[in-house]
Amino acid sequence: MHHIRYVGQRLHCESVDLDAVARLHGTPTYVYSAQTITDNYRRLAAGLAGIDLRICYACKANANLAVLRHLANLGAAFDLVSGGELRRVQAAGGSLRHSVFAGVGKTEAEIALALEAGVYGLHVESESELARIDHVAGQLGRRAPIALRVNPDVDARTHAKITTGRSENKFGIPLSRAMAAYATAARLRHLEIRGVQMHLGSQLTSAAPFVEAVEKMAPLVERLKALYGITYFSIGGGLGIAYHDALASGAREWWEARPSDERPLTAEAYGTALRPLLAPLGLQILLEPGRYLTGNAGVLLARVEYLKRGAERNFLILDAAMNDLVRPAMYDAYHELVPLVRDTSRPALTADVVGPVCESGDCFARDRTLQQVSEGEFVAFLSAGAYGAAMASRYNTRPLPAEVLVLGNCFELVKARENFEIMVAGEKIPGFLNA
């Protein structure tokens, strides 16, 4: 459920008319609904009510400072994977003491930054990393709180590029080696064993893989609690959202009308399936959701630049491109596309929806059917609040898109569109090239 819907014929984010936002701030522009993020956060917390729970928002999904502040205000902690994300949370006023620091390639500088900030736990991916963290903690005269990421080897049944919990992935320590790795950690003087972590992959649409993984992990978790007194079990992120039918999925009736085996995973179903497995562990449970909190809260607004009628197909050429929203090009991901002003009297148009970047891969959708739109009109890609702006690049020297946050009838630019000077600010022409 979310707050992106038509009011009359005009697409709104909460009480804000998106066509007005597009005209005021230009396009491509991401717009986020703060109320949707709030609802998602509360729904997830309610789904696991009764468990000692901490929600650590995975910043990688959308690390805009305003989004982070909003989540911090709701009580969220954060899952960080770089020194940059740590500094963003700091800048947004989030609590680092309750946040965790993950990632397969932590540098010494990042480890020191995380320890100095007093993070709740470093999520460790290998034995070599244990040694490195011990070394850095020793230099700083601290003990580093750690949890090992254990790979439960469970098929998340999601896209190959976003599955992580299989043994062939680069992530985590195999379940069979976990006890030995903990024994190594216990011998290192500057480490404090605090927890255990797992993460299966992203965009999971069923609770079954989570259940399978928690069941596989439970004996280990219990032994770690008895042996080392661990206090938390992080079960990672990965809850999926609706991409198809994204607009309709804003309404409760849509969810209720679907047979339960066709319903994307809800927080309620996730909680109901996991609570009986998690409660007996008697540990604090950390969640690391990214997409679930911000995905359906965001849209990407774009302008129709040209409608090109080719020999065999039509092309709808937008001012947004793969550099603004890379998911379709990178993962063949589907994002629903709707006009900002609906006109049901117009005929349908079937076209390939593309951007202006000079690559055939710059294609958002093939053979997409939507209402006939004219040059100069605006459209929105839905479910773009996670891994949208966060993955944007400046390819083709296109500025990073603008971002707007909405709450009720208020909206504000929370990232200005870049200008040329900012894009080239770090570059210089070396003296030896001066003729």
Q: Which of 190, 327, 335, 398 binds ligand LLP (CB under 6 A)?
A: 327
Residue 228 near residue 181 (C-beta atoms within 8 A): no
| Tokens standing for residue 159 | 């896209």
Query: CB of residue 57 vs ligand LLP: minimum separation in angstroms?
Result: 9
Q: Is 236 in the site for ligand LLP (CB under 6 A)?
A: yes
Q: Is 291 in the site for ligand LLP (CB under 6 A)?
A: yes
380, β-bridge pairs: 301, 338
Quote the radius of gyration of the chain (alpha carbons, Å): 23
Asked whether position 145 contacts ligand LLP by CB under 6 A, the answer is no
Q: Specify burial of residue 90 (Cβ count, 10 A radius: 0-12, 13-18, 19+).
A: middle
The residue range among 38-46, 234-242, 344-352, 411-419 that interacts with ligand LLP, by the rule CB under 6 A, is 234-242
Which member of 13, 56, 59, 358 is catalytic? 358
> Does 358 participate in catalysis according to the annotation?
yes
Contacting residue, 33, 62, 202, 266, with ligand LLP by CB under 6 A:
202
Question: Hey, what are 364's tokens?
Answer: 């958002």
Helix, strand, or coil here: 97?
coil
Which residue, 292 or 378, is less far from ligand LLP as judged by CB? 292
Residues between 98 and 117 that touch ligand LLP (CB under 6 A): 102
Piece of the chain touching ligand LLP by CB under 6 A; list 212-220, 271-279, 290-298, 315-323: 290-298
Smaller CB distance to ligand LLP: residue 209 or 289?
289
CB atoms under 10 Å from CB of 139, counted, come to 13
The smaller minimum CB distance to ligand LLP, of residues 69 and 291, is found at 291
Binds ligand LLP (CB under 6 A): choice among 237, 264, 328, 401: 237
CB of 32 to ligand LLP, least distance (A): 15
Binder among 83, 290, 328, 339 for ligand LLP (CB under 6 A)? 290
How far is the C-alpha of 215 from the C-alpha of 208, rounded, in Å? 11
271 forms part of the interface with ligand LLP (CB under 6 A): no
Minimum Å gap between C-beta 107 and ligand LLP is 18
Confirm or reject binding of residue 125 to ligand LLP (CB under 6 A): no
- CB of residue 76 to ligand LLP, shortest distance in Å: 13
For residue 280, whether the previous peptide bond is cis, meaning omega lies within 30 degrees of 0, is: no
Stretch of 28-36, 186-194, 197-205, 243-251 lying at the interface with ligand LLP (CB under 6 A): 197-205
DSSP 389-420: GGG---GGGPPPPEEEEEETTEEEEEEPPP-H
Rule CB under 6 A: is residue 58 a binding residue for ligand LLP? yes
Stretch that binds ligand LLP, among 42-50, 211-219, 264-272, 289-297 (CB under 6 A): 289-297
Which string of DSSP letters, residue by residue, matches 271-336? Answer: HHHHHHHHGGG-SEEEE--SHHHHGGGEEEEEEEEEEEE-SS-EEEEES--TTT--HHHHH-----
Question: Can you tell me the distance from the alpha carbon of 266 to that of 239, in angstroms, rounded to the nearest whole number?
Answer: 8
Query: What is the CA angle 40-146-105, rounded to 5?
Result: 80
Q: Among residues 321 and 340, whose Cβ is nearest to ligand LLP?
A: 321
Among 292, 378, 381, 411, binds ligand LLP (CB under 6 A): 292
Sign of CA dihedral 282, 283, 289, 293: positive
Residue with structure tokens 């992935």?
Answer: 169
The 8-class DSSP code of residue 357 comes to S
Contacts (Cβ under 8 Å, ≥6 apart) of 5: 11, 12, 247, 250, 251
Residue 289 in the binding site for ligand LLP (CB under 6 A): yes
Establish if 270 lies at the interface with ligand LLP (CB under 6 A): no
Residue 233 contacts ligand LLP per CB under 6 A: no
Q: Give the CA distances from residue 299 to residues 143, 151, 381, in Å, rounded to whole numbers and listed in that order.
A: 43, 33, 5
Closest CB 322 distance from ligand LLP, rounded Å: 13
Q: Collapsing DSSP states into helix, strand and coil, what is residue 221?
A: helix
* Contact window for ligand LLP (CB under 6 A) among 28-36, 198-206, 212-220, 247-255: 198-206
Catalytic residues: 358
Residue numbers of the site for ligand LLP (CB under 6 A)? 58, 61, 79, 102, 162, 164, 199, 202-203, 236-239, 288-292, 327, 331, 386-387
